[in-house]
Chain A
Amino acid sequence: MYETMLNFPGSLLGELERLQRQFDEALGAPGRAASIRSVAPGTFPAINIGNTPTSVEIYAFAPGLDASKTEVTLDRGVLWLAGERAAELPDPGERRLVYSRERTTGAFKRAISLPDDVDPAQVTAAYRDGVLHVSLARREEAQPKRITIQ
């Protein structure tokens, strides 16, 4: 019986290594400085950030928002995402049972420090399939440029 308990898909050592990696990712490798605005993993909404040569792209995975009540603010190089998600749980008087209750509800606010070369005048935000996508263009003078040789 105990043997089968040790039979993980893949190998046990592989699983341990994966765990170690996840811990390192979650807690930060020792000795390395974290961003002053870093948050615990699992904070709503999850955010992915990517770069292109001409822009910075931010994706917030926030399903079920009312786009008109969601605020995207850019303030001195910090992008703020704020909004609220309504609870769908029943009124106390209703004859309904709640089994699982994992989805985040209520107000949220997240901050992202932006690189210096972002142009605050050229920001667009779109909400699609539960993903809030904010695209921030880089300043013209910061974009890669080919220089002709005289």
Chain B
Amino acid sequence: MSNDVQTRNADSSSAAESSDKAPALIPRVDVLEDDTGITLLADLPGVPKDQLVLKVEGDTLLVEGTLAPLTPGKLEATYAELRLPRYRRSFTLSRELDAERIDANLKDGVLRLRIPKQAHAQPRRIQIQTA
């Protein structure tokens, strides 16, 4: 237990490309929807911008981040609540969402994703015809 933080961080850069099998933490998220799209907020503390990977494959959105090694380097871990150096979570998008125009912003360890809806999928009021 005590060595986990250090040893796993040491190889974190090579693991950034990610094997799907590597154990990872599941980040906590908030998902909100409004008329024009979906907003996803994810907690990824310790992940710098260049270690964050966002991928859309088919209808699956993958969020993956690797923690920056803790400084100073020569650290003997005595207590660890966070024991894995990476986060991973995937979501299934639905068809009316426009995966091409996802907007991402990472600030202070909070990832904010804006997934807009396709223009034709935005709400319009449907008139009821009376006979």
State the A residues within 8 Å of B (CB).
Answer: 25, 41, 43, 45-53, 55, 57, 59, 61-65, 88-90, 94-104, 127, 129-131, 133
B contacts with A, residue count (CB < 8 A): 35
User: Of A51, A53, A64, which contacts B110 at CB under 8 A?
Assistant: A64
A130:B110 contact, CB within 8 angstroms: yes
Which residues 99-117 of B have a CB within 8 angstroms of A?
107-110
Provide 29 A-B residue pairs closer than 8 Å at the C-beta atoms, listed in order of the A residue. Answer: A45-B45, A46-B81, A47-B81, A48-B5, A48-B79, A48-B80, A50-B75, A50-B77, A50-B78, A51-B78, A52-B75, A57-B70, A63-B109, A64-B107, A88-B30, A88-B41, A89-B32, A95-B34, A97-B33, A99-B31, A99-B32, A99-B33, A100-B31, A101-B30, A102-B28, A103-B43, A104-B28, A127-B108, A131-B109
A95:B32 contact, CB within 8 angstroms: no
Cα–Cα, bound, A57→B79 (Å) = 11
Cα–Cα, bound, A61→B71 (Å) = 14
Residues of A within 8 A of B80 (CB): 48-49
A131:B45 contact, CB within 8 angstroms: yes
The 10 A-B residue pairs with the shortest CB-CB distance, nearest first, are A130-B109, A63-B109, A130-B45, A61-B45, A50-B75, A102-B28, A100-B31, A46-B81, A64-B110, A63-B45
Q: Which residue of A lies closest to B42 (CB)?
A: A103
Q: Which residue of B lies closest to A54 (CB)?
A: B72
Cα–Cα, bound, A127→B108 (Å) = 8
B68:A49 contact, CB within 8 angstroms: no
Please give the distance in Å from A112's CB to the nearest CB on chain B. 9
Residues of B within 8 A of A47 (CB): 79, 81
B48:A97 contact, CB within 8 angstroms: no
Please give the distance in Å from A126's CB to the nearest CB on chain B. 10
Given A52-B72, A95-B34, A103-B29, also A130-B81 (CB < 8 A)? no
Q: Does B97 interact with chain A (Cβ within 8 Å)?
A: no
User: Of A52, A65, A99, A104, which contacts B108 at CB under 8 A?
Assistant: A65
Cα–Cα, bound, A66→B77 (Å) = 27
B81:A48 contact, CB within 8 angstroms: yes
Residues of A within 8 A of B46 (CB): 59, 61, 129-131
Q: Does B63 interact with chain A (Cβ within 8 Å)?
A: no
A57:B72 contact, CB within 8 angstroms: yes
Q: Which residue of B lies closest to A104 (CB)?
A: B28
Q: Which residue of B lies closest to A63 (CB)?
A: B109
Given A63-B43, A63-B44, A103-B41, also A96-B76 (CB < 8 A)? no
Please give the distance in Å from B78's CB to the nearest CB on chain A. 5
Cα–Cα, bound, A55→B75 (Å) = 9
